[in-house]
Structure formats: structure tokens, C-alpha cells
């Protein structure tokens, strides 16, 4: 049974035809382990997206492939989805957990942004801050599939990662990785954003305010 409905396929086909420019690699890390409840569905979503437009190239690795995990920025959990310009082993845009519900839209937007040569619309104030980041920054956004505000936070983190190669943006599905979510301070409300495992805030902030938290983490690094 297809995970993407026919009407959604039609819409996505039109969107991809309109916006996709360069080829994009959709890289999935999966495991056959019984503890990976959503690996199969994650791969299926990747297959279905790749079948909609030839500019989406699906690559699937087993999580046991340590070399591949390292090449894509150190993949630490499964299932994982990485969006990168085709041919570039770039792990700055990651999804940990099934990108379903509202987060499916985030994945689609990332594919479009990466395909358009790294275009990522943000405010001038945010861009001014983000462009000055010259050392590694990791932004983790803890979400749930039913959170309507989470895609905005994930989208902002991923746009920052597109705009600056020193920034990594990770979506983490907090119900799938519940223990980790609890360890970072008890994720009780989402989106919960953690930058460099130090600076935290809750909510889908405007990108200029989000950038100020990134700047705080940068100055503390």
C-alpha cells in the first residue's frame, strides 16, 4: 500500500517539476533490527518520492556501514534520512525518525531548497548572523508528527544549514527517541530546540530570533 496518496503524488509531481533544478540525493540509513519500527516505512517514502521525479536519487545504506555513516556527517541513529546535493556526501540536513505527518512537508521543502542550488529564504537579520558562523554548530529540533508548529522550526534549522556549511540541522522524532529526548532536559513541549547541547528554547520562533540563539551557542563554543 502506497504511503503517499494519489492526490498528493499529483501535487508533488507538479511542485517538483516546477522547483527542482539540480539532482538531489535522498540518503536513508536503515536497520533490519526489530527495534527499528519505522525503517521499512522510511525506505518506502524514499522510494515513492524518487518515483515522482527523476531528479530525486534514492540511496539506501544499512546502519552497520560505518564508513557511509561517517561520510554523511556521523549518522548516529536509525532510521535516518539525509538530504544532499547529488554526488556530495554532505550530512548537514538530517531527519532521525520517520518523516511523517507534518514533517513530511519539511522533507519536501528541503528537497526543493537543496535542488535549487542551496537557496534558502531567510530574513536579512537572520542571514547576517548565520553568515558569520565559522565553527561547527549543531541544531537539534525535537518534534512529534502531530505538531503543526514543528515544521517551521525544522525548516529554519535546515535553512541555516543550507546557508552555512558549519551548521548541521537535525530533526529528531521525540516519540521514537524518547530516552534521548528526556536526557536533553525533558522534552515535554515541541518543537524543542537544542543548539550544541547547551542552548535551548521551545517554540517555532521567527528566524531572526532563532538566529540569536545560534549566535549565543556560537559565542559559548
Q: What are 4-30's pLDDT values in tens digits?
A: 999 999 999 999 999 999 999 999 999
DSSP 79-138: SEEEEEETT----SEEEES---THHHHHHHHHHHHHHTTS-----HHHHHHHTT--S-EE
For the chain, which residues make up each domain, given as ranges?
1-119, 122-221
How would CATH label the architecture of 122-221?
Answer: 3-Layer(aba) Sandwich (3.40)
CATH 3.40.10.10 fits 1-119, yes or no: no
CB atoms within 10 A of CB 121: 10
Examine the pLDDT at 136 and tell me if it is beyond 80. yes
Q: What kind and span of H or E run contains 52?
A: helix 39-52
Within its chain, how far is the Cα of 67 from the centroid?
Answer: 21
pLDDT of residue 187: 63
pTM: 0.94
Q: What is the mean pLDDT of residues 101-130?
A: 92
SS3 28: strand
With contact defined as beta carbons under 8 Å apart, do 128 and 164 qualify? no
Same fold, 1-119 and 122-221: yes
Q: What is the mean pLDDT of residues 165-171?
A: 97
Amino acid at each position: 500500500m502506497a504511503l503517499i496518496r494519489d492526490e498528493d503524488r499529483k501535487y508533488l509531481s507538479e511542485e517538483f517539476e516546477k522547483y527542482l533544478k539540480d539532482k538531489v540525493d535522498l540518503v536513508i540509513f536503515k536497520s533490519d533490527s526489530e527495534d527499528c519500527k519505522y525503517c521499512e516505512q522510511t525506505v518506502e517514502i524514499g522510494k515513492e518520492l524518487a518515483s515522482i521525479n527523476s531528479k530525486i536519487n534514492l540511496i539506501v545504506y544499512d546502519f552497520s556501514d560505518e564508513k557511509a555513516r561517517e561520510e554523511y556527517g556521523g549518522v548516529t541513529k536509525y532510521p535516518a534520512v539525509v538530504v544532499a546535493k547529488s554526488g556530495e556526501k554532505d550530512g548537514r540536513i538530517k531527519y532521525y525518525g520517520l518523516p511523517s505527518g507534518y514533517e513530511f512537508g519539511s522533507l519536501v521543502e528541503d528537497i526543493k531548497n537543496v535542488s535549487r542550488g542551496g537557496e534558502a529564504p531567510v530574513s536579512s537579520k537572520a542571514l547576517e548572523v548565520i553568515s558569520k558562523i565559522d565553527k561547527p554548530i549543531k541544531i537539534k529540533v525535537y518534534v512529534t508528527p502531530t505538531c503543526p508548529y514543528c515544521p517551521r522550526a525544522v525548516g529554519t534549522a535546515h535553512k541555516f544549514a543550507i546557508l552555512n556549511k558549519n551548521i548541521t540541522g537535525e530533526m529528531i522524532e521525540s516519540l521514537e527517541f524518547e530516552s534521548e529526548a528526556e536526557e536533553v532536559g525533558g522534552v515535554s513541549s515541541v518543537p524543542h530546540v537544542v543548539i550544541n547541547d547547551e542552548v535551548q528554547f521551545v517554540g517555532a520562533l521567527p528566524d531572526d530570533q532563532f538566529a540569536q540563539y545560534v549566535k549565543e551557542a556560537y559565542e559559548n563554543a
